Every structure is written in structure tokens, then in C-alpha cells.
């Protein structure tokens, strides 16, 4: 039961083979058993989850419609608001914040019958690539306790990999769903910007942030996206683009699909085991009927610096709201302190080192005399990146790259070198800058690195998640990487 997919769990509950309460108890027991070693959860909502599961059982017994995720346990990244449930973004500044409302994504999950089992640990305000920036300590990779699970949605990916939940929500600003999915050997989908409402997501960089699912199969990702997608009047950036039947796309047929491979870009600096797994994945899809096409992304090498200019600038603006006045932590070091000093002390006490670093970088690039040289120039290169992908999609249906240039690295390995940490996002940030959908699926293991997971990343056209899910599902039918789990 605990190892099953979201679809299998839903089908078992719908058929009466198992109750939602039994499923919920099994996953709560699993969390209790493994979370002390992983630190994947900031909060476990056992009583709330069991009450919700009991409600699902009563509705099913009464013959009422219970939804496509009825009884399926779901973990929620701790930067998504759940009404009445502490939501911290893994930051001391929000240590006691309890939202009075639900994020739209949470509303839609619960309307579909999902059972929320808890809030998952993450890098503070989703700023990081290793989940070591959390105020509540790092998450450990279920495959190797001395390795990072990736970030910033490391808790969600670790929870799914350790079978603490069949589905989890993450947020992806520069790879924060896909990179942890790759490091933990699970599936992670970043939808097109605007496909899923961001209402109730604690903002990091508003033009880049996107909510998406993490699961064990492409089919579960498709099921979750079907629930999450669609316009929302509470989010002006959500798209009115029609939502297709993502499940209908999972035909297993890849005949004639064109896979673009930017060979020059994915060669330099890539671990040998990662490159081998990537090449073998491409060869598997080629033998199944897909066509490999060489493409060029001439400006892709600039994506990382562009990302860290745009993202930090937007973070500087978004995080200005945490001032100790309206909600969150407030410094009380000196009752006689003035307002300016209170602001300063509140932010110094509440924010961690990486958040402070990004706020300072962003404030600098937006400041008088530097705006044109940095922020404006970054936005211009962002346009060039969009043009690169437009040209690539004239020749290909999807673009394939490794999700990460390396297997999961050791905890503490890159914390003293922020630049090396930032470069871990080299293959993922472009999709956010351009707003494209992208998915990571397990494609092998780095055998020379203690058998650690490797991910294949596929990037698609705007609002064409269907093709990504179709190709990912077909790949899963041809391999068994997604079925393997950590011990």
C-alpha cells in the first residue's frame, strides 16, 4: 500500500479494497518511522489527515462523488499556504505564521479528495539547491544520508522517494522541483508559467515561480496536473489556456517525436556517469521510434548569471514585506528602538545567510546606476534565450538535457562556495526564464558515486505538458528506473 502510486491508491479506495483511513494510517506510520533520519517534514498533520480520510470514507459509503485523488495522501511544500496549518517557508521570520486561507493549489487538491499529511522542509523561501538553507536543518537524501536531496523542494522529493507520500507539491523557480526529483530518483514536473495558479505561494521571484507535482510516475504527475491546472481569478498571471486531458496523452507511443539535443551545451562539465545515463536514455527513446535532432542553444551558457540577476532582484522586492509589522517575527531586543532599527533587527534575526545574500544582490542590481548594466541587460538576454528555444522547437518537439550535471553531492560540499552551488542549476534555469514546461524522470544511477540517482530532463513548448508526459510515460514503460527505491 505504502509503495503504491497515487492512481493505484485511489483505485483501491474507490473499489473498496482498502479504506482511506487505513491508507492514511499506513503513510503516517511510514513518516513516523523514517522522518527522524530524513528531516523531510517540518510539520505532520496526523489528526487533520485522519479526519479528512474518515470524511472521504463516509462520502464514498454514501455514494457521493469523491474526486480523482480521493484518499491519496499528499505532502505540501512549506511555502504553500494551508489554512490553519503553520506555514514557514523554512524561515525563522515566519516561524509562527498560520495562514487564514488556502493556496489555490491546495484548494484544488482537497476538492479532488486528496489528504494532506504535512508540510515539507525546503530551502528558506525556496532559495537554494541543496535544502541546506532551511532554518530547521537540512533534509537528507533517502538514497544516501550524507548526500543532499536537492533543493529547494528537497523535503517533498525525499518524502516521495522514501514513500512517505505518493504525491507532493513543490515550487520551481530555477529547477527546485526538477533537481530534487533527479537527486531522489522520482518524477518532478514544472508546468508552463501560468498553467497553475500561484495564489497562496509565498513569493520568491514572481516571474519565475511555478507550482508543480512530484510523484513516482509520469502518470501520477499527469493526474495531479489535471487537478491543479486552470485559470484562477485570484492570480492575474494564471492562464486561460484550455486544459487538455493529460491522462489521454499517455499512449506509450513515441513514434515520430523529435527530441532536440544541444550537444555542445550538455558536454562540458557533466559527470561521466550522468552523461552515460543521459546517452543511454536517448538511445532507448530512439529505438522506440523517436528521432534525435541536434540543436543549438547559443545563449544557454548565460542563463545562470541571468537567472541570478532576475531572481535576486525580484526577491529583493518580494521580501520587503517581511518587516515585523503585519505578521511574522518581530524583533523585541529593545523596547525603545525606533522603527528603522526594528526593521533592521527583525530582518537580521529572521532571515538566514542565503536569503540575506540574495536580497543584497537584488537590491544592488536594482539600484540607481546599476539597473541598466545588470537587470535590464539580464532581461534582454532573457529574450534571446526565448528566441533560442523558439528556433529549437522549429526542429524538435522537446529538448532533452540531463537534469543536473552531477549526481547528488555531499551535504556541506558546496555551502562555502555559493558560485559552485549556483552552477548546479545550469540545465534547469532556462525553462523558468522562458516560462516553458519541463519534467525530470529517473534515467539511471551513477554507479561510481554509491549508486545515486540520475535524472533526464525534457523541456517542451509553451502549454505542451502533454508531450512531455507522453514521452516520460513511454520511457517508463521501456525501463524500470522509476520502480527502484532507496533502502
Q: Which residues are catalytic?
A: 77, 152, 176
- For 72, the 3-state DSSP assignment is coil
CA distance 195 to 212: 10
Angle at 338 between CA 332 and CA 340, to 5 degrees: 95
Beta bridge partners of 439: 189, 458
CA 324, 330, 333, 335 dihedral sign is positive
Beta bridge partners of 73: 115
First to last CA, the chain: 17
Q: What is the CA radius of gyration of the chain?
A: 21
CA distance 81 to 203: 11
Place of cell 498571471: 237
CA distance 487 to 483: 13
For residues 56 and 96, is the Cβ–Cβ distance under 8 A?
no
Q: Quickly list DSSP for 310-322.
A: HHHHHHHHHGGG-
For residues 114 and 69, is the Cβ–Cβ distance under 8 A?
yes
Helices 6-14 and 20-38, packing angle to 10 deg: 150
Dmax over CA atoms of the chain, in Å, equals 73
Beta bridge partners of 43: 119
Provide the CB-side half-sphere exposure for 325 (13 A, CA).
10
For residues 424 and 406, is the Cβ–Cβ distance under 8 A?
yes
Q: Judging by DSSP bridges, how do beta strands 211-215 and 291-294 pair with one another?
A: unpaired
> Per the structure block, which three cell numbers stand in for 234?
485570484
For residues 358 and 127, is the Cβ–Cβ distance under 8 A?
yes
Amino acid at each position: 500500500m505504502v509503495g503504491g502510486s497515487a492512481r493505484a491508491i485511489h483505485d483501491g479506495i474507490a473499489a473498496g479494497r482498502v479504506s482511506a483511513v487505513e491508507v492514511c494510517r499506513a503513510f503516517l506510520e511510514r513518516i513516523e518511522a523514517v522522518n527522524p533520519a530524513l528531516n523531510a517534514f517540518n510539520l505532520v498533520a496526523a489528526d487533520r489527515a485522519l479526519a479528512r480520510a474518515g470524511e472521504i470514507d463516509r462520502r464514498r459509503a454514501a455514494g457521493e462523488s469523491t474526486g480523482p485523488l480521493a484518499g491519496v495522501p499528499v505532502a505540501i511544500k512549506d511555502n504553500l499556504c494551508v489554512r490553519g496549518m503553520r506555514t514557514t517557508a523554512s524561515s525563522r521570520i515566519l516561524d509562527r505564521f498560520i495562514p487564514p486561507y488556502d493556496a489555490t493549489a491546495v484548494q484544488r487538491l482537497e476538492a479532488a479528495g486528496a489528504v494532506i499529511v504535512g508540510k515539507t522542509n525546503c530551502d528558506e523561501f525556496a532559495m537554494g539547491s541543496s535544502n541546506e538553507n532551511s532554518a530547521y536543518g537540512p533534509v537528507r537524501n533517502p538514497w544516501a544520508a550524507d548526500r543532499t536531496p536537492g533543493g529547494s523542494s528537497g523535503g517533498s522529493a525525499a518524502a516521495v522517494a522514501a514513500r512517505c507520500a505518493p504525491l507532493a507539491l513543490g515550487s520551481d523557480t530555477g529547477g527546485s522541483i526538477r533537481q530534487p526529483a533527479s537527486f531522489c530518483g522520482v518524477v518532478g514536473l514544472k508546468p508552463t508559467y501560468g498553467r497553475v495558479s500561484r495564489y497562496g505561494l509565498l513569493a520568491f521571484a514572481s516571474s519565475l515561480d511555478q507550482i508543480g507535482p512530484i510523484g513516482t510516475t509520469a502518470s501520477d504527475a499527469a493526474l495531479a496536473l489535471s487537478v491543479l491546472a486552470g485559470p484562477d481569478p485570484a492570480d492575474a498571471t494564471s492562464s486561460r489556456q484550455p486544459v487538455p486531458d493529460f491522462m489521454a496523452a499517455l499512449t506509450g507511443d513515441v513514434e515520430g517525436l523529435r527530441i532536440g539535443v544541444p550537444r555542445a551545451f550538455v558536454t562540458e562539465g557533466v559527470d561521466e556517469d550522468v552523461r552515460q545515463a543521459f546517452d543511454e536514455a536517448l538511445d532507448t527513446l530512439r529505438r522506440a521510434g523517436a528521432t534525435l535532432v541536434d540543436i543549438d542553444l547559443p545563449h544557454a551558457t548565460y542563463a545562470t548569471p541571468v537567472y541570478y540577476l532576475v531572481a535576486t532582484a525580484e526577491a529583493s522586492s518580494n521580501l520587503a514585506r517581511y518587516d515585523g509589522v503585519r505578521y511574522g517575527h518581530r524583533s523585541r531586543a529593545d523596547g525603545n528602538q525606533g522603527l528603522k532599527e526594528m526593521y533592521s533587527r527583525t530582518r537580521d534575526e529572521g532571515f538566514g545567510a542565503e536569503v540575506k545574500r540574495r536580497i543584497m544582490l537584488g537590491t544592488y542590481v536594482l539600484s540607481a546606476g546599476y539597473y541598466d548594466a545588470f537587470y535590464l541587460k539580464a532581461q534582454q538576454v532573457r529574450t534571446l534565450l526565448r528566441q533560442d528555444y523558439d528556433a529549437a522547437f522549429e526542429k524538435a518537439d522537446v529538448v532533452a538535457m540531463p537534469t543536473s550535471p552531477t549526481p547528488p553531492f555531499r551535504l556541506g560540499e558546496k555551502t562555502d562556495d555559493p558560485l559552485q552551488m549556483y552552477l548546479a542549476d545550469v540545465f534547469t534555469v532556462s525553462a523558468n526564464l522562458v516560462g516553458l514546461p519541463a519534467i525530470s524522470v529517473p534515467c539511471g544511477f551513477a554507479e561510481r558515486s554509491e549508486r545515486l540517482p540520475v535524472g533526464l530532463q525534457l523541456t517542451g513548448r509553451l502549454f505542451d505538458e502533454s508531450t512531455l508526459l507522453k514521452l516520460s510515460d513511454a520511457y517508463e514503460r521501456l525501463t524500470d528506473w522509476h520502480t527502484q527505491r532507496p533502502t
